[in-house]
Structure 1
Amino acid sequence: MKLRNAYLLIVGLIILSSCRNDDDTIGEVVPPRLLSEVTIEDDAEIIEFLKTHFYNDDEFETPPEGFDFKIKFDTIAGDNSSRISLFDSPNLITQTISVDSEDLGRSDDDEIINQTLYTLVVRQGEVTGTPTIGDFSILRYEGLLLDGTLFDASTNQPIRFNLSTVVQGFGNGMKNFQTGTGPIENGDGTVSYENYGIGAIFMPAGLAYFDTSPNTVIPTYSPLIFKVDAFAYEPDSDFDGDGIPSILEDLNNDGNLNNDNTNAEVEASFGIYTANYSDTDDDGDGILTIDEIELDADGNFVGFLDTDGDGIPDHLDNDL
C-alpha cells in the first residue's frame, strides 16, 4: 500500500494527541466504509448545519464596543428565526475537490470521489493575495465538530505551519483568505495583526481524518469545522529547501502535495514515503534537487532543466 495519506502528516501539528476513539468498544473492529458513501452522508450533514445555523454577521457589520471579532454560530429558531442561514450567506464559498481513496490509505476501494468544501469568509483581509497549499501560513484557529464540541485550538498567539502539513481541507480552505498587516509588537512579548481575514472552513471526512481519529474527541468519519483568523503567509514557500517553491511540486495539480512522489516505488521498498515537497532529492538519484534546477545568482528559482531533452525535468529524471 502506498502511504499517500495526507492526513497522517498532520498528527502532532493540528492535534497533538493520538488515542483510540472513545465511541469504539475495546477490541471492536469497525468495518471500513467506502469513501463514496461517507461523502454523501457528510455533505448532507454539513448542508443541514449550514441551513439551520447563522453567524453573528450583525456584529461584524456594525462592531459593538469591545467586540472581539470572533465568529459565533447559533441555531435559526425563535427570536433568530429571520436570520440568514450560513448556506444562504453571500460570504459562503464552495469548492469541489477530487479525492482518491488510495490517498486515504485504501488500496482496495479504487474510488475517486468529488468532495465539497465550504468556506465562510466573514471578513476578507486587506493584503492582496492569498496563500497556496504549499505556503507557510501564520494564523489562529479553533477546531469543532458539527455539534459544537471543541477538539482543538491554537493559543491566542499566532501559530505558523505549512498548509500541506495539515488536513487537506484546511489548506484548500485557506486559499480563500487574504491576510492582514503585522506583526505588531505589543510590548509584553506578544504580537498582533490588524485587518486580517476571518472565517470558517467546513470539511467532509474525506478532506479531514476519514477513518482515523487523532484523539478521543473526534469520531471516525467526522466532518469538521475550523474557525480561522488568517494573519499572514509566506509566498512561494519552499518547505524542504530544495530551491523549488512547494506549490510547483503539485505535479498532478489536484490541490494535494502529499500524493506527489516521483520515487515512491523505490521508497516503498524501504518502507518510507516522502512527497516531493518535503524531499531534497525528488527522483532519488543521489543528486540533490537544488543541483538539478536553474537558479539565479541570488539562489532564487528560475526554471527546470531537461538535459537529455526527454521531456522530464532533471530533478524528476533518475535515468540521465
Structure 2
Amino acid sequence: MRTRRRLRARILGGLFCAGLVVSGTGAPVNAATTENTVTAASDPGLPGTQTDSPQALDVLDQRDLRPSGSFSWRTTARNVHAYVLGDKIATTHVTFGGRAVNGPDFTGDSQCSPFDNWGTGLASAVGGTRHGVAKEVRIVGVRIMACANTTPQRLVQGLDWVTANAVKPAVAVLNVTAAADPAIDAAALRLIHSGVSLVTDSGTSSSSDSDSTKVSPAHLPEAITVGRTWGDTIEPAITRTGRNVDLFAWFSTMAVGGGSDEYSPTLNSAGLAAGAAALILAGQPAWTPAQVHEALVGNATPGLIRNPSRGAPNLMLHVSP
C-alpha cells in the first residue's frame, strides 16, 4: 500500500503535462515538410511476442487484466505513421530503432530543453520496441510544448500541420488538453475529416472539476478519448471522466533521454490506445477514422473497472493477440 501511495504521489507531482492548457499565444514558425516526402511502406509487419513487456503492455492482450508474462501482436504497423504532438522526442533512444524523427517546432522557444521526458514517453507508448504497442510504426514528433507549457494557438498549429502533411494511413496522439475552445475543436475536426485518426487524453482532474466534457479536443465525439486507470481502478485525482470518454487504459512505463533510460509509471494511456489504433490501420489502411474508432471501442473489454465513473463506459483497451 505504501508503494502504491508513493507511486501515486510521483504521478500527481508530474500532472502538469496532461492538464489544462494555459491561455496565450505562441510564436508561429515555419513548419518543415520533409516528412511528407516519405512514402509509407505497404508491409504491415509480422506477428510476434515480447516476453519482457512492462505490466501495462502485458495486460493489453489479456481479457482479465492478469499479467501473462508476454505481449503478442499480429502486426507491427510498419506501414503506418504516428504523429505525436507534445514536446520533442529523443529520437536517439534505443526504443525507437531509428524510426522516430522530429518535425516542426511551433514553440519558438530556445531557452527550454527541447527534449522533454513526456514527449519521448508518449512516443514510446505508441511505438517503442520495449514499451510500445505498434513496434515498427513510423513516429513523427510535432513540438507544441516548451517548459511543460503550451497554448491554444500552438495546439491549433500542430493539428493543422499534421492535417496538411500526414503520410497516411496515420494516427495522431496528444496527452495535452485545454479548456473547451472552438478553435482547437475546429482544428481537430479538420484533422479527423482529412483521414487521420485522433487519439487524445481525457484530461487531468482539478480540485474542483473532473468533467472531461469541458476540455478540448477530448469532448469531441469524433476523437478517440482515453481515460487512465491504475490497474482496474480509476484514480479520480488523476483522470477526468465523462460521457465523452471512449475507453480507459492502464498507465504505461515511459522511455526517457537519448539512451536507454526508463521511468515508471506515467500518463501514457493515450499513447497505448494510439498504438492500438495504428495496429488496426496496419491491417485496414483504407479505413476512415470513424471505422478505426468503432473497431477500437468495439474490441475493448467491458466490466473490468472496479469503480466505474458515472457516464463513462466501463471499457478497457484491448489488443487482440
Give the TM-score category using the shorter length.
Answer: under 0.3
Tell me which of the two structures has the higher relative contact order, counting C-alpha pairs closer than 8 angstroms and 6 or more residues apart: 2
Kindly indicate which of the two structures has a greater share of residues assigned to strand: 1
TM-score for the superposition, normalised by structure 2: 0.22
Structure (1 or 2) with the larger CA radius of gyration: 1
Larger % of helix: which? 2
